[in-house]
Amino acid sequence: MSHVLVLVEVANGALDSSTPELLAAAAVLGDPAAVLVTEPGEADAFVVELGELGAAVVFTASLAGVDSMLVTPQVAALHAAVTASGDVRAVIVGNSPDGREAGARLAIRIDGAYQGDVVGIEADNASGGVAVTQQAFGGSYTVTAGTGRGIPVISLRPHSIDGRAPAAAGIVTEIDIAGDTTACAEISATHEQKQASERPSLQGADIVVSGGRGLGSKEKFVLVEQLADSLGAAVGASRAAVDAGYCDHNLQVGQTGVTVSPNLYIALGISGAIQHRAGMQSAKTIIAINKDPDSPIFEVADFGVVGDLFTVVPQLIDAVNARRG
Amino acid sequence: MKIAVLVKEVPDTWGDRAIDPVTKRVDRGGDMVIDEINEKAVEAALLVKEAHSGSDVTVVTMGPKSALDAIRKSLAMGADRGIHIIDDGLRGSDAVQTSAALAAALKGRDFDLVIAGNESTDGRTAAVPAMLAERLGVAQLTFLRTLAVSGDTVTGERVTPDGHVDVRATLPALVSVTEQIAEARYPNFRGILSAKKKPVEVLAIADLALAAGDTGGDNAWSVVADVTARPARTGGTIITDDGTGGTQLAEFLASAKLI
């Protein structure tokens, strides 16, 4: 079978949480082949795990200083892996800024197609191609697309592929990117947000609890975090809440923030402006709590409570904890 | 310093946006506006220009006749000149093709800095800036929420899912900015008047030396097969809190096996 390359992202000494799903997506189309870029000597730590997650082959590229280079080493490694494989049906990258941009640049370098923010992948065996599903305008439309020319490079949104790839051999093939001279930006410092708890990341979370202007203040926004923590959920926010300074920009869900498709989305004190709905309306189940019965958020809610979120949410937290207890 | 800013007209996000079921392309018959993120990109360019005397800002767009409004708006804000890539043969271009046309328009003009929005509100592909950096062979500093140029070095804070990273590169470079970069200024009356007199260069496929067999939707690398409107969500249960709203909500979640 043809190889399907997967760009593996590594952070803080661990594989990114998207890795199992990316390899599962690759297995839909062919033999998953992980492409791993690390500082010298650090690849070995991940090879066994990648094999267990389904990688038949692990292309490893190592380069001193790679952790402080933005995107270009990953592009060089993917390009070298395409050449080394000789038979690549598709390339799959994650939906992070790094993943998307490495994929976009690779598409140009190998004269391939680029399909971003994909939510479904199927093998089109009649044509030997790949059919992808995307959403447009925040889930208002479902688009299916194929490849007109070249190898498809696909960025995959989390929660798009069910199941996991069967474990595979994870045979290591070293590839050389030392000769890459592409102009590159340098990462001079990394600043990670201090997480109050072990909350899941917003984009990949199974449950998202978001707060809006209805929370009223930064202090009261804590209620959103409390409900999120009782559900094991990620915290999100509307643009209005972010602009009012209740929480950090990285939490913004919507047209100009993060797009999420969790199993459960709970909107607290969010009116549901069209720009916010564009970032969350493809969630499987939507819950809304808002004191204004005319809020547009109720138009997309599967279950809505018109009421004061400062009484409804604590009661909900108690009920959730009681069921857990 | 020579600065280029990429702008695009998009359907207004305040209205209902649609995809034409026949052409399978974005319906551009409704209200079209310059994308908000592009106004911020223009603002970022003007701030760099103001910090570096003798700078010149060129606004570049690709699109039909109506896209000229996006250029004029940018010129009214204070940009110096425009480039309008317009050709019926470019209709339906995908990101690969769009980046090829933009690269052809920018190449050979010795821009020190190219500034784009991080992602458009219609396509949301967020791929064109990286593709353009690849084609131009310059460093990319994308998803920046701050931007500064000093000497021949550009620096900024790149937003990541977990926080941000500080990035730096030597000019020439390509930058994409997030909505945190700056609030766009409003054009004043003098700016609006002078915008009409500023030069706008018009480029077609022939001027860009693109191969005819590589342009337009019929030759795209990515081909849309089908578009379906998602049925509106219906049948939601809305209750008014009678003192048991939180409990009822928990029961709903439990019955749906969500908790």
| Selection from B59, B58, B57 nearest residue B67 by Cα | B59
CA distance B193 to B196: 6
A303 and B230: CB-CB below 8 Å? Answer: no
Residue to test with chain A: of B238, B240, B247, B248, most A Cβ within 10 A: B238
* pLDDT tens digits along A193-249: 765 457 888 888 899 999 999 999 999 999 999 999 999 999 999 999 999 999 988
Residue to test with chain B: of A305, A321, A323, most B Cβ within 10 A: A305
Across A81-91, average pLDDT: 97
Residue A168 buriedness (CB in 10 A; 0-12 / 13-18 / 19+):
buried
- A141, A275, A305 member nearest B239 (Cβ): A305
- B14, B131, B247 member nearest A104 (Cβ): B131
The ipTM (two decimal places) reads 0.92
Across A28-46, average pLDDT: 96
CA distance A3 to B197: 56
* pLDDT tens digits along B74-106: 999 999 999 999 999 999 999 999 999 999 999
Residues 125-184 of B with CB under 8 A from A: 125-131, 133-135, 137-143, 145, 155, 158-170, 173, 179-180
Name chain A contacts of B179, Cβ cutoff 8 Å. 256
Measure A171 CA to nearest chain B CA, in Å: 31
B162 and A192: CB-CB below 8 Å? Answer: yes
CA distance B41 to B180: 10
What was the pLDDT predicted at A289? 97
Residue to test with chain A: of B26, B134, B170, most A Cβ within 10 A: B134
CA distance A112 to A42: 30
Residue A270 touches partner B, C-beta closer than 8 Å: no
Residues 147-166 of A with CB under 8 A from B: 147-150, 152
Question: Helix H segments across chain B?
Answer: 36-51, 68-77, 95-106, 128-136, 189-195, 205-208, 245-255
CA distance A24 to A161: 7
What was the pLDDT predicted at A194? 61
**Reading across the β-sheet that carries A207-211, which strands appear in turn?**
A234-237, A207-211, A264-268, A285-290, A303-306, B237-240
CA distance A12 to B70: 43
Whose structure tokens read 């979370």?
A205
CA distance A293 to A286: 16
